[in-house]
Amino acid sequence: MTTATTAAAAGLRLTLERVTLGYGRGGVLRDVDLEIEPGEILTVVGSSGSGKSTLLRGLAGLLPPYRGRILADGAEVTGPSPDRAMIFQEDGLLPWRTVLRNVELPLAIRKVPRDERRRAAREWIARVGLAGSEDRLPRELSGGMRQRVQLARALAAAPRAVLMDEPFGALDAQTRAEMQRLLLDVLRDTSATVVFVTHDVDEALLLGHRIAVITPAGVRVLAEATRERIVKEL
Amino acid sequence: MTAVRTAGPRAGLDVPAPAEPPRPRAGRRGWAIRIASPLAAAGLWQLLTVTDARIWLRFDRLPSLDEIAAEFAAQLATRVYYLDLLQSLIRILTGFGIAAVAGVTVGVLIGRSRRAGDVLTPLLEAVRPIPAIALVPIAILLFPTDEQGIVFITCTAAFFPIMVSTRHAVRALPTLWEDAVRTLGGTRRHVLVNVVLPGVLPGVFGGLSIGMGVSWICVISAEMISGDFGVGYRTWQAYTLVDYPATVVGMITIGALGWLTSALIELVGRRATRWLPRAAKEGRA
């Protein structure tokens, strides 16, 4: 398991302290306590409607908790930050921007000079296997290719945490397997903390250092996760 | 680890969306019909006017095609024809231009800010049902010159469809894009520039098209009521002087200008929204 280093781009420690999150009155997640270690890949499994996306939106700072605190390296999360990039299930790309301009966006927001961000974006596009597609629009890409672009865009600005909301959920089995390999490959070079949400138990086992299960009773991290144990928890 | 690793070669099912299929072109037959249809209409007009038909509708005082053509040719050789044309174009482009900027600005403001919506919506909704041309008395009282009054009316007419369609487009914008930009570190301004403004363009161009249409209605009507230049003024003057061929020439001119400006908006709109999925829908898995 990866441990935190003292490097500047080290992964964030994400902490939930008795957090209640949700839309409407009740809240989907109640009194959740969770500690996500710097640099680890935590996969979160749960059935649909169990609050997986809600948890990620809370961590991203898109959804403030009703009660409790969400902390990133000890500082309370009050809104979105480029430190915590998010990858959505689909259509997270801006459809009017080409692949290159989508990947450049986080760098442009950070006011990276044009030449530099163009070079960095091209590098990332090549890294996810899309060299040559820089000038295509999202609608000209397949679902898998669009997710590659999202991955490149999220990682281009070197975030300290990557929040992934069922990013491969809409892909066919073969493309999904390819994307999982690519993800593991790409993450090997970063020390970012990853929270990966999925409803696929096998995917969770393959990708995660640790696995958390969301059940109506709450969020539980399974120490020795096996397929059987997860299925039983669900 | 798990079975997922055994997945086959990478060629796979994940093929990119096919290039947009070429739009079905109007064949030779299609073009023949397109040309024949207006010709048939013109022929019918000619038949009815030359024979001075009175079949409940009275065609006996309407000019025939050759009279209209002769009048058109004569007018094309005069300076005043182009001056009128230019005058109307300046009026409409000024009014429409102001309306486009104001309509998009106010539409985005109301769509994005609840406070702005609370302040502006009741005012705008109170004025919106009034047909712009009914504002002529106000325009005359308010503005020192007729010219400004005409531009005001044209502008008011175009403002509402542009503002309303912008507002709807802002509210219909998927929140996903905004979330994406915010998690990349984007501020409100980044969201506005990178998500809202490009995202509402398809809706805005719908409003611009309608706005251009009502602009022409209003500029011509306003010119007919008050004005001493312009295509509308000239057309009405020709009618009061019992010069019916010139009246029809005026109408054809108005039609052509309206068609040209609408086509221009359509063209710019298509260029600006080339990213829309339109025909590429089947490319989705």
Residue B285 has pLDDT above 50, yes or no: no
Q: What is the pLDDT of residue A4?
A: 35
Are B275 and A139 a contacting pair at CB < 8 A?
A: yes
Per-residue DSSP letter, A116 = H
Q: Copy the structure tokens of residue B110.
A: 């109301």
**For residues A35 and A221, what is the distance between their CA atoms, to the nearest angstrom?**
9
Residue B254 has pLDDT above 60, yes or no: yes
**For residues B201 and B169, what is the distance between their CA atoms, to the nearest angstrom?**
8
pLDDT tier at A10, thresholds 50, 70, 90: confident
SS3 content of chain B, % helix, strand, coil (to 5): 75, 0, 20
Are B184 and A153 a contacting pair at CB < 8 A?
A: yes
Are the C-beta atoms of A225 and A211 separated by less than 8 Å? yes
Residue B245 has pLDDT above 80, yes or no: yes
Q: What is the pLDDT of residue B24?
A: 60
Are A92 and B176 a contacting pair at CB < 8 A?
A: yes
Chain A residues near residue B185 by CB distance under 8 angstroms: 80-82, 106, 109-110, 157
CB of B4 within 8 Å of a chain A CB? The answer is yes
Query: What value does the CA radius of gyration of chain B take, rounded to a whole number of Å?
Result: 26
**For residues B155 and B147, what is the distance between their CA atoms, to the nearest angstrom?**
12
CB of B181 within 8 Å of a chain A CB? The answer is yes
ipTM here: 0.89
Size of the A and B interface in Cβ pairs below 8 Å:
126
CB of B117 within 8 Å of a chain A CB? The answer is no
Are B14 and A202 a contacting pair at CB < 8 A?
A: no
Are the C-beta atoms of A128 and A184 separated by less than 8 Å? no
Type of residue at B268 = V
Q: Copy the structure tokens of residue B257.
A: 């200008």
**For residues B220 and B153, what is the distance between their CA atoms, to the nearest angstrom?**
11
Q: How many CA atoms lie within 13 A of A187 on its CB side?
A: 27
Chain centre distance of CA A63: 15
Q: What is the pLDDT of residue A7?
A: 38
pLDDT tier at B253, thresholds 50, 70, 90: very high
CA B182 to chain A, closest CA, distance in angstroms equals: 6
The full 3-state SS of A54-93, as one line of letters, equals HHHHHHHCCCCCCEEEEEECCEECCCCCCCEEEECCCCCC
Q: Copy the structure tokens of residue A163.
A: 């929040």
Q: Beta-carbon neighbour count of residue B127 at 10 Å?
A: 12
- Torsion angles phi and psi, residue A61, rounded to 5: 90, 10
CA B168 to chain A, closest CA, distance in angstroms equals: 19
Suggest the residue from B14, B182, B275 to mutate for an interface test with chain A (most A CBs closer than 10 A).
B14
